[in-house]
Amino acid sequence: MYQGGDIMKKSFTVAAAATFALSGAASAQEFFEMTSGYAENLPILGTASVAFVDKINSISTEVEFEHFNPGELVPALEMLDATSNGSVDAAYSTSGYWQGKMNAAGLFAAVPFGPEPGEMLAWMLYDDGMTYFQQMYDDNGYNVKVILCGMYAPETSGWFKEEITSLDDLQGLNMRFFGLGAEVMQKIGVSTSLLAGGDIFPALERGAIDATEFSMPLVDANLGFYNIAKYNYFPGWHQPSTMFELLINKDRWEDLDERAQNQIEIACMANLADNFAEGEAKNFPAMNENVEEHGVEIKNWSEEQLQAFETAWLEVAEELAAEDPFFKEVWDDLQEFREGYAIWGDNIYLPRPYNSVADQ
């Protein structure tokens, strides 16, 4: 008996079922509009949010993210509220932008004289950091899920129009500054304001601010700070490591199945490594170019100046802990972890000059 027709019929049935399954999966895919705090053309800083979207979209059939630059959906400094109320589905940012809303926010962004990336990741992922991070948003009524999604090494600590020969030169300066470091600069005598990245150069140009910090040398060069402020100061005492968050509206997050949630978290974990490596690879060429082609002078704070910054920071931390029980709880937990970590960190890593080719 000829069975070709039956075989063809069976093949058609299987193909149709597969097509239906695929179309069903596509229609079930969750779509997320994600606003970023950083323009996509900013290296390291802006490219990290684009890279996350590329990563999640390449591995997931459950969710798809679309990247939007600052201001396309909401202004950068309004992303938290917009994500919480559902105006946007997600936001890639740093919690330091919310320092004015929650005292502890800066502890999950950048801690002056705090942990470098390895130690900070250890506290965040293997101690209590992430638990407190989510609790901060929950306790303050924000309807968001937070995921650690980026991190890089220290930033520069400022671009100045005039050389800073002593701390007296800082008195009365108007400076763009970020997070907890801004509290320190205010105690030193600097008037600070928090500006989004795209607003900094115009403010420098028209004299609304005298100096600024923002990011790493390559990022800052991309924004053209060297055209106005030629003195670039190091080290980045205010941001020994900087963390970036993915905020997702909690209702949208809880509607996802476990596989989709895991895919987002895994994409963020990959983004952490990528973000850190890019920052480490691309900044020393940028420093050379800033000096050789743009006339930038690289300056280092003296030991005396760094001690003054640290003293001011410890005063700020003590004051915030006295007025905010949650800040105190998180700060104490971080300090306890750091005391334990020192047993490892102070012994395992080579001290300079042994770990630096510059001194060999």
pLDDT, tens digit, for every residue of 87-102? 999 999 999 999 999 9
pLDDT, tens only, 260-293? 999 999 999 999 999 999 999 999 999 999 999 9
What number is the average pLDDT over the span 321-343?
Answer: 98
Q: What is the pTM of this model?
A: 0.89
213 is in an annotated binding site: yes
Contacts of 338 (CB under 8 A, 6+ apart): 115, 119, 123
Given this model, what pLDDT does residue 14 score?
A: 39
Q: Mean pLDDT lowest for which of 15-19, 57-61, 113-117?
A: 15-19
155 is in an annotated binding site: yes
The per-residue pLDDT for 351 is: 83
pLDDT average, residue stretch 150-167: 95
Tell me if domain 30-154+240-282 and domain 158-236+297-325 are identical in fold. yes
In tens, the pLDDT along 112-156 reads: 999 999 999 999 999 999 999 999 999 999 999 999 999 999 999
In the prediction, which pLDDT does 356 show? 62
**pLDDT of res. 26:** 43
3-state secondary structure the chain: CCCHHHHHHHHHHHHHHHHHHHHHHHHHCEEEEEEECCCCCCCCHHHHHHHHHHHHHHHCCCEEEEEECCCCCCCHHHHHHHHHCCCCCEEEECHHHHCCCCHHHHHHCCCCCCCCHHHHHHHHHHCCHHHHHHHHHHHCCCCEEEEEEEEECCCCCEEECCCCCCHHHHCCCEEECCHHHHHHHHHHCCEEECCCHHHHHHHHHCCCCCEECCCCHHHHHHCCHHHCCCEEEECCCCCCCEEEEEEEEHHHHHHCCHHHHHHHHHHHHHHHHHHHHHHHHHHHHHHHHHHHHHCCEEEECCHHHHHHHHHHHHHHHHHHHHHCHHHHHHHHHHHHHHHHHHHHHHHHCCCCCCCCHHHC
Which option is the CATH number for 30-154+240-282: 3.30.420.40, 3.40.50.2300, 3.40.50.620, 3.40.190.170? 3.40.190.170
Residue 40 is labelled as binding a ligand: no
Q: What is the pLDDT of residues 34-47, one digit of tens each?
A: 999 999 999 999 99
Confidence of residue 324 (pLDDT cuts 50, 70, 90): very high
In the structure, what pLDDT confidence band is assigned to residue 311 with cuts at 50, 70 and 90? very high
176 annotated ligand binder: yes
Specify the pLDDT at position 180: 95
Q: Where are the domains of the chain?
A: 30-154+240-282, 158-236+297-325
Burial string for 161-195 (b: 16+ CB within 10 Å, else e) reads eeebeebeebeebebbbbbbbbbbbebbebebeeb
Tell me the CATH number of domain 158-236+297-325, given options 3.40.640.10, 3.30.300.30, 3.90.1150.10, 3.40.190.10: 3.40.190.10
Q: Is 298 exposed, middle or buried (0-12, 13-18, 19+ CB in 10 A)?
A: middle
More confident residue, 21 or 248: 248
Q: State yes or no: pLDDT of 23 exceeds 50.
A: no
* Cα–Cα distance, 110 to 107 (Å, whole number): 6
